[in-house]
Amino acid sequence: MNKKYIKNLLIRVLISIIIFLAIGIFVNQSDSNLLFFKNNFYDKSLKFNKISNLYNKYLGKIINKPNPEKIMNASKELNYIDYNAYMDGAKLNGVSLVYPFKSGIVVFVGEKEIFGNTVIIQGMDGIDYWYGNVDNLNIKLYDYVESDNLIGEAVESTLYVLFMKDNKILNYEDFL
How far apart, in Å, are the Cα atoms of 113 and each of 31, 116, 127? 38, 6, 21
- Indicate whether 92 and 150 sit together in one domain: yes
- Indicate whether 48 and 14 sit together in one domain: yes
Domain span holding position 154? 70-174
pLDDT attached to residue 89: 92
- Indicate whether 61 and 77 sit together in one domain: no
Average pLDDT, the chain: 83
CATH number at residue 84: 2.70.70.10
pLDDT attached to residue 13: 86
∠ CA 25-31-32, rounded to 5°:
95
- Indicate whether 51 and 127 sit together in one domain: no
In this prediction, residues 16-44 reach a mean pLDDT of 86
Q: How many angstroms separate the CA atoms of 128 and 57, rounded?
A: 22
- Indicate whether 63 and 99 sit together in one domain: no
Band (pLDDT 50/70/90 cuts) for residue 60 is low
**For 121-168, how does the pLDDT look when each residue is reduced to its tens digit (9 = 90+)?**
999 888 999 999 999 999 999 888 998 899 999 999 999 999 999 889
pLDDT attached to residue 37: 83
Cβ–Cβ < 8 Å for 174, 146? no
Cβ–Cβ < 8 Å for 97, 136? no
pLDDT at 68 over 50: no
Range from 43-52, 109-118, 130-139 carrying the lowest mean pLDDT: 43-52
What lies within 8 Å, CB to CB, of 171 at 6+ separation is: 163
- Indicate whether 111 and 132 sit together in one domain: yes
Single out the residue in 67, 97, 122 at which a domain terminates.
67
pLDDT at 70 over 60: no
